[in-house]
Every structure is written in structure tokens, then in C-alpha cells.
Amino acid sequence: MRMGPVRRIVVAVAAISTATVASACGHPAPAKPVRQVIDVSEDACGQGWTDPHTGQQTFYFRNTGSNPTTVDLIDVRTGAISAEVPDIGPNTTRGTRVDVGGGTFAFRCALEGSDNALITGPTVTIAGPPAASAAAPVTPEDLYGPDKRYVDYVAAGLTRLAADTDILRDTVDRGDLATARTAWLTAHLDYERLGAAYDAFGDYDGKLDGRTDGLAGGAADPQFTGFHRVEYGLWHGESLATLAGPADQLAQDVHGLVADFPDIQVPLLDLGLRTHEILENTLRFEMTGDADYGSGSSLATAAANVTGTRELLTVLDPVLRTRYARLPQTMTWLNRFEALLETHHANAPAGDPASGAWTAVSALSPSDRQRLNGTLSQLLEYLAPIATICKPRKTFQ
């Protein structure tokens, strides 16, 4: 579990208008999309939507005012939000895509630093069924229960992590390499299952699960600490006497996190955001082998990340069940990816049981790698809208 940069999940709308022009030969020329620009400012919101229609579209939003502006496309009858583009700066144009369904729509602009802080533009009615991505706004109150359940899940996971990290430290102290490797994997997977909490952990995440990226000394850099530092030593011939210091530091940092966690809040925003980001980082770091420091356990980490994502979807189920029509498909693809990972479990090289009996990413055949990456990529497509759906919002009448 590593903290990737917190991304703004941008889901917004676009309109493409085409015109068919006869060529000199009398045949239709290829249709040319019209770049439709919607203006937002302190004085107006949503001017310029000249071709409203259903389907996948791209809108370009141009902030002609002097304040950063967040734009929502809302159904004024139901309050459902079809799209959001956050923090468009002055003199900035941004475009993005969304699926527009039927409804009575208006753009709503929330301006920072303006007396006229909330503006709703003119309404436009489009015939047709609502888009599957349109969802009623989620309030902070909707997320208090899921957040509490997730905090309880993390607290229980931290208790296991502390106990298993102590076992790892003790096996390193005893000089038992095979047992230490097994204990390392157990403790590391405890951490990886914690899922959405890693941003809330602050500096602890870097101490516990940091990589060598940006460190001048690489694996020998004094700032390289945590699970991957111990992993590197266990699988690169470092003496366990030398490794005792990093293993002890890891245990101390875990206990520090356990002690501080009661005062740490998992932000409500993170619940939806991390449902996508956990496995996005898995695709980037685990499925490429970039985070493998010798153990060959990246697929085990990916499976632990699936567990963390599944827990998030479980606590968010009361919120998503009535708001996200593709939730069943999301769960289907999550199960499918997990099942594919399990086909590479118990396939460790002979004589290396400490690898946890998982095939290393570097040992995957091209077809297996493509199948895993393709399945995960499709799963990420289904997970992507959840961040916007579960963003806590104030409701406006």
C-alpha cells in the first residue's frame, strides 16, 4: 500500500455537434465535431450549451471570471449529479467526458472567494432514460456510518499488524532466515489490506511502505526504511544481524502508528476516492514489479489490495446500492480479478516456500500478464465513478 499522489477525479460532460457537408462529388464529407465551449463566471453559469443531447459527450468549460470555479451538471428535478469539474482556474479552459442521459439539466457553479458563491444556470430538458452514472448527492451524514465501520476495520487490522511485525522482528533477531521471510510476507500483507487509510497515516506510510524512488543512496540510503527495506535485506543476502536494526525500526514505527491511530481521522472523501486509487496503484506498482524488492510477492500484495478495496465497497454499499447502477458489474470484475490472481498462488519455484507460493510478476507469461492487466483495467473503469458519486456534498434547495 503506497500513497500515490491524491488525484482529483474529474468526471464532466461534453457535447459534440456534427454537420454533414456535401462534397464536390455529391457524397457526404466526414462529419466534423464542433468544439462547444461553456462559459462559467461570477455573472453566469453554463452559457453556450447549444446542442444538448444524450450519450457520451465532451464539454469544454471556460472560466471567464476571476475566481476558481467548480461546475456540476445537475438534474434540477431529482438533484442527481451527472458530472463535476472541480477548481477551474480563471482564464482556464478544461474539457472532459461523461455519459449524459435524459432529464432536466442545469449547470451549477460554486465560486471560491465570491459574494455570489453559488449560481445555477438555465435549464435544458433532454428526452430519454437517465444515465447510469447520474446519482443523488451524498451528504456527509450519509458517510458517517461507513466511515466508522471502516475505522473499526483498520483498527482491527493494525492490531494484527503489530503482532505480526513483532514476530518478524523476533525471527530476524534469532537469525532464522526462512521463518523471517515467511513472517515478513504475513506482516506486509496485513499492512496492504488496510486500504483507504494510508493517506490518513501521514508520514507513517512512507516510513512503513516507502520505496527507494528519489533516494540518492538507493537501497543503501538511510532514509530507506520499512517493509521494503527489510524485504531487500532478506532476499539479497544481507546478514540478519545487520538487518536486526531495520526490523526493529519497522516494529517501532508500527507500534507508533497503533498508538496514534485513535487520534487519526480517515477523511470522508477518502472512502470513495481510494476505491479506485488502491487498485490504480496496484496496476502501476505491483503489476509491473516496480515495488518488488526481491520477494517476488507482488501478486500477493495485489490480492491484499483487492481485500482492502472489497472492504471499502462493503461499507459503502448502503450509499452505492441506490446510486450506482454498475455496482453489480464492479463486484463481478473484482471477483474475476481476485480469481485470476489466485491461479498464480501455490506456483512458487521449487525449494522457495518463503516466497509465499506466489508466481513472481517477472515469471508470468505474456498471455497471463495481459489477462491480469486487462481484467484489472476493466475493473478500474467500473470503480472510477465511485469517487465522484461518494464525494460528500452540501445539498442546495
pTM of the predicted protein model: 0.76
| pLDDT value of residue 340 | 96
How distant is the alpha carbon of residue 74 from its chain centre?
24
Cell, residue 313: 465497497
pLDDT values of the chain reduced to their tens digit, one per residue, 397 residues? 554 443 333 333 333 333 333 344 444 554 555 677 889 888 888 888 888 889 888 889 999 988 899 888 888 888 888 878 888 999 999 987 878 889 999 998 888 765 557 888 889 999 988 876 677 888 899 999 999 999 999 999 999 999 999 999 999 999 999 999 999 999 999 999 998 777 789 899 999 999 999 999 999 999 999 999 999 999 999 999 999 999 999 999 999 999 999 999 889 989 999 999 999 999 999 999 999 999 999 999 999 999 999 999 999 999 999 889 899 999 999 999 999 999 999 854 544 444 458 999 999 999 999 999 999 999 999 998 898 889 887 654 4
| pLDDT value of residue 129 | 85
| pLDDT value of residue 198 | 76
Q: 111, 69 in Cβ contact below 8 A?
A: yes
Question: Nearest to residue 186, comparing CAs of 288, 297, 94?
Answer: 297
Phi-psi region of 53 (alpha: psi -120 to 50; beta: other; left: phi over 0): beta
| pLDDT value of residue 189 | 96
- Residue recorded with cell 492490531: 159
| pLDDT value of residue 1 | 57
Rounded CA-CA distance 358/379 in Å is 22
SS (H, E, C) the chain: CCCCCCCCCCECCCCEECCCCECCCCCECCCCCEECEEEECCCCEEECCCCCCCEEEEEEEEECCCCCEEEEEEECCCCCEEEEEEEECCCCEEEEEEEECCEEEEEEEEECCCCCCEEECCCEEECCCCCCCCECCECHHHHHHHHHHHHHHHHHHHHHHHHHHHHHHHHHHHCCHHHHHHHHHHHHHHHHCCHHHHCCCCHHHHHHHCCCCCCCCHHHCCCCCCHHHHHHHHHCCCCHHHHHHHHHHHHHHHHHHHHHHHHCCCCHHHHHHHHHHHHHHHHHHHCCCCCCCCCCCHHHHHHHHHHHHHHHHHHHHHHHCCCCCCHHHHHHHHHHHHHHHHCCECCCCCCCHHHCCECCHHHCCHHHHHHHHHHHHHHHHHHCCHHHHCCECCCCC
C-alpha separations of 352 from 234, 244, 349 in Å: 13, 22, 6
**Hey, how many other C-beta atoms are within 10 angstroms of the C-beta on 172?**
28
Q: Is the dihedral of CA 349, 352, 356, 362 positive or negative?
A: negative
Q: Is the dihedral of CA 329, 330, 335, 338 positive or negative?
A: positive
- Residue recorded with cell 500500500: 1
Query: What are the pLDDT digits (tens) for 262-313?
Result: 999 889 989 999 999 999 999 999 999 999 999 999 999 999 999 999 999 9
Q: 300, 362 in Cβ contact below 8 A?
A: no
Cell, residue 209: 511502505
| pLDDT value of residue 21 | 36
